[in-house]
C-alpha cells in the first residue's frame, strides 16, 4: 500500500498510509510558508522532532483534537502532565502507535527540552525518514543498515541545519530512494538553492512547493 506525503511548509509533513495520518512538526500558524491552517488538517498522531517554536507550532491544537503525541521522553512527560495522550521514547528505540511503527533517530541540533531527534515511520510496506533539524552525522549511514527508506525529508536551509552539500551526502548515506528538501526559504536566513540540490541528487530529488505531495 502506498503512502501519500504532503509537505506543509518549513519542516511540517503529513503522511497518510494504512488508514492513519501522521503529522510531523506542525508549525502552521505563524508560518509564512504554511500550506494549510490547523483546522484544515486531521492527524491520528503528531511527532515532534524537538522543542523549538518553529516545530512545536500548533501541536496542542491537534492534541486537543485527540491526536497522540510522540516524542522524546522529557517532552512526552510534559504533555502527559497537561492531560494529553503521549507516547515517550528515546533514540534508537521503536514503538507502535495506532498500528504505525515509529523509530527514533539521532539528530544534531539544540532543543529547549530533551534531545533533538528524527524519525523513521514504518507503514506496512513503506518507510519514511524525517531527519528533523540536524547537521550531517555518521549515524545516517547506520539507517541504511536497518531500513529500506522509500522517502526522506532532509533539511537544506544551512545556518541552523545541513546545507545542500551536506544534505546530498546524507541522502546517499541513508539510502533513500526519493528525497524531499525541507526547512528552507521560510525566511531569508535559510534560503537555499533547490536547483543545486537537484543537480547533486539527480532523479532522487523531489522538489515540492509547500502543499505539494508525493506518493511512494
Segments making up each domain of the chain, as ranges? 4-209
pLDDT 10s digits, 19-69: 999 999 999 999 999 999 999 999 999 999 999 999 999 999 999 999 999
* CATH number, span 4-209: 3.60.15.10
Confidence band for 208, pLDDT divided at 50, 70 and 90: very high
Cell, residue 77: 512527560
Which residue matches cell numbers 498510509?
Answer: 17
Q: Which long-range contacts (CB under 8 A, 24 or more apart) does 207-211 make?
A: 207/180, 207/181, 208/7, 208/180, 209/35, 210/7, 210/8, 210/9, 210/33, 210/34, 210/35, 211/6, 211/7, 211/8, 211/9, 211/35, 211/36
Please report, to the nearest 10 degrees, the dihedral formed by the alpha carbons of residues 36, 4, 117, 155 taken in order.
-70
Q: Can you name the residues that pair with 202 across neighbouring β-strands?
A: none
pLDDT 10s digits, 78-125: 999 999 999 999 999 999 999 999 999 999 999 999 999 999 999 999
In this prediction, residues 126-141 reach a mean pLDDT of: 98
Confidence band for 1, pLDDT divided at 50, 70 and 90: confident
In this prediction, residues 133-137 reach a mean pLDDT of: 98
Amino acid at each position: 500500500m502506498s503512502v501519500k506525503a504532503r509537505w506543509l511548509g518549513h519542516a511540517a509533513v503529513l503522511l497518510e498510509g494504512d488508514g492513519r495520518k501522521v503529522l510531523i512538526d506542525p508549525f502552521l500558524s505563524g508560518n509564512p510558508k504554511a500550506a494549510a491552517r490547523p483546522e484544515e488538517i486531521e492527524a491520528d498522531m503528531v511527532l515532534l522532532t524537538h522543542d523549538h517554536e518553529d516545530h512545536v507550532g500548533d501541536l496542542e491544537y491537534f492534541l486537543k483534537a485527540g491526536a497522540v503525541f510522540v516524542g522524546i521522553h522529557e517532552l512526552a512527560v510534559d504533555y502527559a502532565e497537561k492531560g494529553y495522550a503521549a507516547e515517550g521514547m528515546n533514540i534508537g528505540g521503536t514503538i507502535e502507535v495506532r498500528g504505525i511503527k515509529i523509530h527514533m533517530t539521532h539528530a544534531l541540533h539544540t532543543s529547549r527540552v530533551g534531545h533533538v531527534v528524527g524519525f523513521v515511520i514504518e507503514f506496512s510496506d513503506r518507510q519514511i525518514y524525517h531527519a528533523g533539524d540536524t547537521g550531517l552525522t555518521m549515524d545516517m549511514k547506520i539507517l541504511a543498515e536497518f531500513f529500506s527508506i522509500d522517502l526522506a525529508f532532509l533539511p537544506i536551509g544551512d545556518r541552523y541545519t545541513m546545507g545542500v552539500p551536506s544534505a546530498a551526502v546524507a541522502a546517499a548515506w541513508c539510502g533513500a530512494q526519493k528525497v524531499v528538501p525541507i526547512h528552507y526559504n521560510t525566511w531569508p536566513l535559510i534560503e537555499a538553492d533547490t536547483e543545486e540540490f537537484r543537480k547533486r541528487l539527480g532523479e532522487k530529488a523531489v522538489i515540492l512547493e509547500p502543499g505539494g505531495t508525493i506518493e511512494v
